[in-house]
């Protein structure tokens, strides 16, 4: 997997009491392990990184993580049985790769069919991506004026023009969609909203982007993916939860 980050991870050991109602979480452990290992070897080949995997994780990834949906933009049927929370950065190249290589098939097979809803939460890595924060704020300004549908159109435009992001270009993209976000963006109206998403991402254990949490809707605990994984990884995890 590919992931941009600015810090390390700390693992905590916890005692586990297995409840009957929680058996699905543990029954998917082996499947997730096989999927992640398979994805690693599929994309690394003879040791030279290619595709969506750049390095083998140095620590064992946790099999579950917790995060809340909050009030962020939702793509898909809001009553879908499976929820994916995405923590992302509009200037992150690996997030851009996920948008180009994985998101379209995920949308076609699961989101458009009502099986999965996607919740987009902002996690701008401001230390290395100075335009990620204003991009995220601008998307929220568009959402204020046009709702979730307008938000997702702005989301797409930002990723499609990732290499040329600037304050002027961001405002121009919004204007192309029919929304003037200049005063909203200049005022920093949604700065704290974006910062809250970032804080929640770190609390949930994500140190880089993109990060995903795949879970049954209505729950706060699910299976985490940290990095830009191929479509098949998402497919196998989603199918195991259905």
- Percentage of residues of the chain with pLDDT beyond 90: 69
Question: pLDDT confidence of 68, banded at 50, 70, 90?
Answer: low
Q: Whole-angstrom Cα distance, residue 139 to residue 100?
A: 19
The 10s digit of each residue's pLDDT in 117-163 is 999 999 999 999 999 999 999 999 999 999 999 999 999 999 999 99
pLDDT at 14: 35
Residues 6+ apart with CB under 8 A from 83: 69, 116, 117, 118, 119, 214, 215, 216, 217, 222
What is the CB neighbour count within 10 angstroms for residue 154?
26
Look at the pTM and tell me if it is higher than 0.85. no
198-205 contacts, C-beta under 8 A, 24 or more apart? 198/122, 198/123, 198/124, 200/67, 200/68, 200/70, 200/121, 201/67, 201/87, 201/121, 201/123, 203/67, 204/65, 204/66, 204/67, 204/87, 205/9, 205/62, 205/65
Nearest to 198 by CA among 107, 117, 137: 137
Q: Whole-angstrom Cα distance, residue 133 to residue 167?
A: 11
- CATH fold of 63-234, please? Glutaredoxin (3.40.30)
| pLDDT greater at residue 242 or residue 87 | 87
pLDDT at 11: 36
The 10s digit of each residue's pLDDT in 70-125 is 789 999 999 999 999 999 999 999 999 999 999 999 999 999 999 999 999 999 99
- Let me know: does 163 contact 90? Beta carbons within 8 Å: no
């Amino acid at each position: 997997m590919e992931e941009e980050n600015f810090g390390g991870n700390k693992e905590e050991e916890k005692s586990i009491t297995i409840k009957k109602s929680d058996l699905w979480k543990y029954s998917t452990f082996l499947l997730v392990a096989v999927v992640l290992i398979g994805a690693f070897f599929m994309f690394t080949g003879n040791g030279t990184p290619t595709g969506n995997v750049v390095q083998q994780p140095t620590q064992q990834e946790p099999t579950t993580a917790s995060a809340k949906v909050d009030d962020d933009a939702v793509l898909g049927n809001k009553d879908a049985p499976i929820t994916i929370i995405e923590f992302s950065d509009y200037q992150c190249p690996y997030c851009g790769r996920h948008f180009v290589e994985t998101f379209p098939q995920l949308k076609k097979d699961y989101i458009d069919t009502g099986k999965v809803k996607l919740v987009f939460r902002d996690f701008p890595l401001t230390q290395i991506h100075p335009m990620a924060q204003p991009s995220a704020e601008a998307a929220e300004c568009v959402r204020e004026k046009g709702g979730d549908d307008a938000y997702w159109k702005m989301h797409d435009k930002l990723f499609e023009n990732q290499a040329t992001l600037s304050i002027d270009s961001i405002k121009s993209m919004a204007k192309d969609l029919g929304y003037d976000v200049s005063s909203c963006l200049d005022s920093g109206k949604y700065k704290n909203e974006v910062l809250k998403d970032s804080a929640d991402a770190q609390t949930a254990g994500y140190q880089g982007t993109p990060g995903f949490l795949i879970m049954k809707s209505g729950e706060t605990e699910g299976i985490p993916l940290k990095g830009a994984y191929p479509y098949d990884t998402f497919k196998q995890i989603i199918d195991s939860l259905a």
